[in-house]
Structure formats: C-alpha cells, structure tokens
Chain A
Amino acid sequence: DGGITQSPKYLFRKEGQNVTLSCEQNLNHDAMYWYRQDPGQGLRLIYYSQIVNDFQKGDIAEGYSVSREKKESFPLTVTSAQKNPTAFYLCASSHLAGDMNEQFFGPGTRLTVL
C-alpha cells in the first residue's frame, strides 16, 4: 500500500524543546516538501528536497531544520528558535520528471507547544 506516513498525528511539547516530525514515503518520489498550515494562511513552504543529501529553504525556514539521508525519509526538526511553533505540519512528495508533478500529502502532524 503506497503512500506517505507522518507520525505522530498529535504532538505536545514544552516551550524551549526541539521536536522532530517524521515523514516517510514509499512512492519512489524524488522530491519531498514540508509545509506549515495555520488557520486562514494556506500552506507555507518550509523546506524542500529534490535529491538525497540536498535540500533548500522555502519561504519560512527560520527555526526549522531538515535532513534527507534516504530517498524515503525527510524528517523536520522544529527548534526552540521557532517563535510560533504551534501549527499543523504537512509533508508531501512528488515526481520531478514528466508533465504531471502533483504533490501527495501525508495526514499531517498537529504540534502544540505549551
């Protein structure tokens, strides 16, 4: 059964703690993305990666870090430097080649920082 998994679905952390969100895909996609969704703000791109061991900052990368050690995995770390970390985090993946490059989204992780 192919798809994208994110864990956990809900996550609570104390202020000042780093937290890592998991994202795994078995779709054999080259590109992976992390978005943040806040009410009324749509999806804002945090980081994206086209290939293993390479990634680029999106529009709101400050306070976040990522790694891409394997094609299937693209974990996101929310650091204590992120001023407003409470949000819904969505991971996505897509092909790079061809005309159709729609993004497939995981179920998301809702992070609450207390």
Chain B
Amino acid sequence: GQQVMQIPQYQHVQEGEDFTTYCNSSTTLSNIQWYKQRPGGHPVFLIQLVKSGEVKKQKRLTFQFGEAKKNSSLHITATQTTDVGTYFCAGGGGSNYKLTFGKGTLLTVNP
C-alpha cells in the first residue's frame, strides 16, 4: 500500500532559525496536505497542494509539491515559539478523500 515517509522525526531550533520538514511517497500522489498538531491538541489543517511543482506561502511558511508529485516540503522562516508542535504531511491517493499520514516532525523552539 501507499507509504509516506517524513523526516526528520525531531528538530530542535533556536528561535529565529529556519526549519524544514520533508515528505516522500512511495507512489504518485493526487494531492498532499499539511497539518499541525500542538502539544496536547489535535491536528489542524494548514494547506493542500494539488499541482505538480506547486509552491504556496502562508506568512513565514512555504509549502512545495515536487514535480513528480511524490515529495513535498514545509519550510518555516525565522521560527517563533508559537511554531512549536508536530507537523504532519498526508498524501491523497486515487480516491481523494482517504489520506496516508507521515509520522510527523516534532519541532521544538528554544526562546
């Protein structure tokens, strides 16, 4: 079945440093979604990418979808303490409502 690998598993940064998490799928995806889960909370949708090579920005967050639609990345510029949490990518296959989640990257930020 479809597998989505995400690295790194953990990342600790100083406030103000940049952060990137990467996602790779074993199969071509129809779309990829990103979620953020704060400590003790539940996942919250951030964004969806659909097109090959697509790049989207949300303030300090930049999301990319690879040309082959098998990989994606989330980059945060100048991290803040409010960025703390686990970031998950989730790949959509042929039936676009079912997602396969990566294991997530836990980001901690030292003020």
Contact = CB atoms under 8 A, between A and B. Distances in A.
A48 B103 contact: no
B99 interface: yes
B97 A59 contact: no
A43 B86 CA distance: 12
A64 interface: no
B85 interface: no
Interface in B3-34: 6, 9, 33
B43 interface: yes
Contacts of A103: 33, 35, 43, 45, 90, 99
Contacts of A102: 33, 45, 48
B59 interface: no
A114 interface: no
Interface of A: 31, 35, 40-45, 48, 50, 59, 90, 92, 94, 96, 99-108
6 contacts: A44-B101, A96-B97, A103-B33, A103-B35, A103-B43, A103-B99
